Structure 1
Amino acid sequence: MNVSDRRRLLGPLNAKLPVSAVGSEDVKISTKANDEIRKMFLKTGLVGNANGSAYLEVDDTIIEVSVFGPRPIKGSFIDRASFSVECKFLPYIPQPNEVTFNGSSTTFNNNGKPGLSNIEQKISSYLETSLLASILLEKYPKSTIDVFVTIISTNSTSQSNTSLLHLCNWIVNCSSLALVDSGIELKDIVTSGQVRLNCKTNELILDPEYDDNTSAAHDDDSLDCVVSFMNMRNDDIVGFWIEGNQNELDEDVTMKLIEGCNTMSKAVRSNINSYLVNLLQ
């Protein structure tokens, strides 16, 4: 063996070639059941300088939420805390359905908060409305409570409504956990559920999946819905967002969507409760 041979990483003498996998046409990709909720990973307290924080992973979606407050504010006396929410995508992460909602501008929203795209503004507004009902703002006069959401990763290349509402759903659940971690007094923990209803087959799917093959044309036959609840307060609805073929929307369809979202919401709430109980042990 010469000097140059010593620089190479040689395999064992009895090495064998691996058996090649079967062709893609022979592989069956399993999908979750229509009533199944995807597994989630939760973690709190990761942001040291925040009063509360939470981290969530669901498949390729990664979200971090930080809560700052209650912090004293200067100026005239107010008898309850002010509350604000800001949701931002990391740079270069595609935003779901951005062609429809953002149009040619992705750097600011003329009708909302400066620096937020239209999609970021819509998610921030929904989140603020949903969480506001659960916080005892009167406990914190002359104060402010601020929630900052960072979307670290998401498969948002699809132009379907499913990917947008999927993201909004998990942002609500992660933000509620961050509020609990902050120690702010709450009436209840807000949790959300998301469903898709195929208007032709009347098939209801909890926590629907989406991928790059999902097209806007698919949404013409479907209704995508996310609903946020305070389950311990008689299942009070604090947020409702629906996209899709609303020509098919009537009272029966609306109730079916709400009941499906509530089923998922309670499953998520059960997982959050288990996580919080384990923290105390």
Structure 2
Amino acid sequence: MNVQDRRRLLGPPNARLLVFGSRQPETADTQTVKPADEIRPMFLKTGLITNANGSAYLEVDNTIISVSVFGPRPIRGSFIDRASFAVEFKFLPYVSQPMEAIFECHNEASKAAASSNLNGRSSLTGIEHKISSFIETSLLPSILLEKYPKSSIDIFVTVIANDAQTNLLNLANWAVNCSSLALVDSGIECKDVVTSGHVRLTANGNAILDPASNSERKAEGVAEAVVSFMNYHNNEIVGIWTESEGALDETNLSSLIEHSKKMSRQIRAAVNSYMLESVHNDD
């Protein structure tokens, strides 16, 4: 007896099975490798945070950063002839921090402080403190603080997404660039637009621009640095952060600075293009 399953949708009687070729696994030869002298594509956007005086949004691979600028805001108290400036860099709670194990003791202290805080607000971790300080150091020389007496300017940098293997200096590099663009969007008067570059030197003396991953550092890197510049003010260095396996000699330091300047100028060109395109779109 021919029993038909009426719950199943049957195809036509002359239908043929489609056979697909097996997908070949990706190998090192088929994967796209970024050239050492190029930087990764980035996505920039300003003005997304409407309640801030200025804001910027940046995406580079798996890293997503949002920056909001508040100020100049009037402050109470004694008169000061120039604005105060502060930067706060934080990861969202679910985002893993690079090199977190190194700052584990500081993180435990932060958790203890958070549990005893009636407001439930935790203090910054060691990584957040370090990057906050570097961003503040890099941007401070460019801002005309004397134009805003008895005021405060605050920048809040938030890491929305990040890979656990992301290089710490690379993250600081993109945070500086995004914060600088947010300053431009705020309309605060500045001497120049600060941009930075991140470079790693290998054991054979080659330079790798924008090294995102931290996994190859011990194998190939002898030194690396992120350097911030005011390119239109004679490439003035406004911030530098170096790390090396041993003592950093003058030759390696000069090479790091020169290649960082090359990357910062590429980013500056991209920022200029974005700002010009934004002006044309507004018109």
Distance 2:67 2:106 in 1: 28
Q: CA deviation at 1:75?
A: 0.8
**Matching residue of 2:135:** 127
Distance 2:148 2:54 in 1: 16
Segments of 5+ residues of structure 2 without an aligned counterpart are 113-120
Distance 2:66 2:183 in 1: 12
Q: CA deviation at 1:31?
A: 0.8
Helix, strand or coil at the partner of 2:110: coil
Is the alpha carbon distance of 1:236 and 1:28 closer, same or farther for their aligned partners in structure 2, counting shifts above 3 Å? same
Distance 1:3 1:123 in 2: 65
Helix, strand or coil at the partner of 1:83: strand
1:49 correspondence with 2:51: yes
Distance 1:187 1:109 in 2: 40
Helix, strand or coil at the partner of 1:233: coil
**Matching residue of 2:267:** 268
Is the alpha carbon distance of 1:144 and 1:26 closer, same or farther for their aligned partners in structure 2, counting shifts above 3 Å? closer
Specify the structure having the higher radius of gyration (Cα). Answer: 2
1:149 correspondence with 2:157: yes
Aligned match for 1:173, one of 165, 170, 177: 177
Is the alpha carbon distance of 1:3 and 1:51 closer, same or farther for their aligned partners in structure 2, counting shifts above 3 Å? farther
Segments of 5+ residues of structure 1 without an aligned counterpart are none
8 Å contact 1:224–1:243 — kept in the other structure?
Answer: yes
Helix, strand or coil at the partner of 1:108: helix
8 Å contact 1:84–1:147 — kept in the other structure?
Answer: yes
Helix, strand or coil at the partner of 1:33: coil
Q: CA deviation at 1:141?
A: 0.5
Q: CA deviation at 1:4?
A: 2.5
Q: Which consecutive aligned stretches of 4+ in structure 1 deviate over 4 angstroms post-superposition? A: 24-27
Q: Could you tell which deviates more after superposition, 233-242 or 23-32?
A: 23-32
8 Å contact 1:106–1:118 — kept in the other structure?
Answer: no
Is the alpha carbon distance of 1:173 and 1:106 closer, same or farther for their aligned partners in structure 2, counting shifts above 3 Å? farther
> How many correspondences in the alignment?
268
Distance 1:78 1:230 in 2: 27
Helix, strand or coil at the partner of 1:243: strand
Distance 2:108 2:66 in 1: 21
Is the alpha carbon distance of 1:15 and 1:209 closer, same or farther for their aligned partners in structure 2, counting shifts above 3 Å? farther
User: TM (normalized to structure 2)?
Assistant: 0.88
Distance 1:96 1:9 in 2: 53
Distance 1:13 1:177 in 2: 59
Distance 2:78 2:17 in 1: 78
Give CA deviations for 1:144-191 in whole Å, capped at 9, x if unaligned: 0000000011112x3xxx710110000000000000000000000000
Is the alpha carbon distance of 1:86 and 1:135 closer, same or farther for their aligned partners in structure 2, counting shifts above 3 Å? same
Q: CA deviation at 1:76?
A: 0.9
User: TM (normalized to structure 1)?
Assistant: 0.88
Is the alpha carbon distance of 1:197 and 1:153 closer, same or farther for their aligned partners in structure 2, counting shifts above 3 Å? same
Amino acid at match of 1:276: M
Is the alpha carbon distance of 1:182 and 1:206 closer, same or farther for their aligned partners in structure 2, counting shifts above 3 Å? same
Give CA deviations for 1:103-153 in whole Å, capped at 9, x if unaligned: 36256299xx96100000000000001000000000001000000000011
Helix, strand or coil at the partner of 1:275: helix
Distance 2:168 2:11 in 1: 48
Amino acid at match of 1:28: T
Distance 2:111 2:222 in 1: 28
8 Å contact 2:106–2:125 — kept in the other structure?
Answer: no
Is the alpha carbon distance of 1:201 and 1:280 closer, same or farther for their aligned partners in structure 2, counting shifts above 3 Å? same
Distance 2:11 2:245 in 1: 60
Give CA deviations for 1:64-85 in whole Å, capped at 9, x if unaligned: 0000000001111111100010
Q: Name the Cα RMSD after superposition.
A: 2.5
Q: CA deviation at 1:201?
A: 0.8
Distance 2:156 2:11 in 1: 49
**Matching residue of 2:219:** 218
Amino acid at match of 1:42: L
8 Å contact 1:188–1:233 — kept in the other structure?
Answer: yes
**Matching residue of 2:32:** 30
Amino acid at match of 1:128: E
Distance 1:104 1:137 in 2: 33
Distance 1:9 1:42 in 2: 49
**Matching residue of 1:251:** 250
8 Å contact 1:108–1:118 — kept in the other structure?
Answer: no
